[in-house]
Amino acid sequence: SFQTGQLEPLLSRFTEEEDLQMKRMLQRMDVLAKRAAESGVRLMVDAEQSYFQPAISRLTLEMQRRFNRDRAVIFNTYQCYLKEAYDNVTVDVELSRREGWHFGTKLVRGAYMEQERNRAAQIGYEDPINPTYEKTNEMYHRCLDYILEEIKHSRKASVMVASHNEDSVKFTLRRMMELGIHPSEKKVSFGQLLGMCDQITFPLGE
């Protein structure tokens, strides 16, 4: 069963109904993860707003511990428009290294900028988003490079480059060549929304 030690303070404040919902959610995640593992497919957990994300990441991490023993089945998503993206990635990779499971990640730029900024302003905490698009690009490539290096050294990491940005795709392909990561290893994959940026998707397919 799930190691809920870290969740205890949270769980103790739940009503019985909420407690039941939480247990059901964990059971559903378990069923999905088992089915994914049996079917040989990957299960990617999307990211939400930063104020929900710690709970989602925590649950995803527990799933990775259990199901990513032999290969990356469960993937966590990191949004690189967040100032703390690199710290989050490196901490989780370190943990996977120490505990010996396969790290799986989907890297995105991020989707909730307006909401994040408005909420930070309303409540009065520091804006969690990188100040410029350039800074977000830097963060994306920094996180990506770190994971590609980890693939080179351990072969126990996998990444989906979920990006419509041509520079990021070219950057990835160049680094794969430099680091000796071959597409046939299936450690690096790419994701674009269907019909968006076909001029990137089709050449990649080739």
Q: 163 in a domain, yes or no?
A: yes
Whether 35 maps to a domain, the answer reads: no
Strands of 23-149 (E only): list them.
43-45, 74-79, 103-108
pTM of the model: 0.86
If we measure between CA atoms, which residue out of 12, 71, 77 comes closest to residue 42?
A: 71
- Tell me, what CATH number does 122's domain have? 3.20.20.220
The segments of the chain whose pLDDT lies below 50 read 1
Q: What is the pLDDT of residue 55?
A: 84
Where in the sequence is the domain holding 163, given as residue range(s)?
A: 42-204
pLDDT at 133: 94
Q: How many domains does the chain have?
A: 1
Residue 111 lies in a domain: yes
Task: Give domain status of residue 80, yes or no.
Answer: yes
Residues 201, 162: contact at Cβ < 8 Å? Answer: no
Residue 190 β-bridge partners: 161
Please tell me the predicted confidence (pLDDT) of residue 194: 75
Within a domain: 149? yes
Q: Is residue 184, in this structure, part of any structural domain at all?
A: yes
What's the pLDDT score for residue 1? 46
Q: Is residue 94 domain-resident? A: yes
| 31 occurs within a structural domain | no
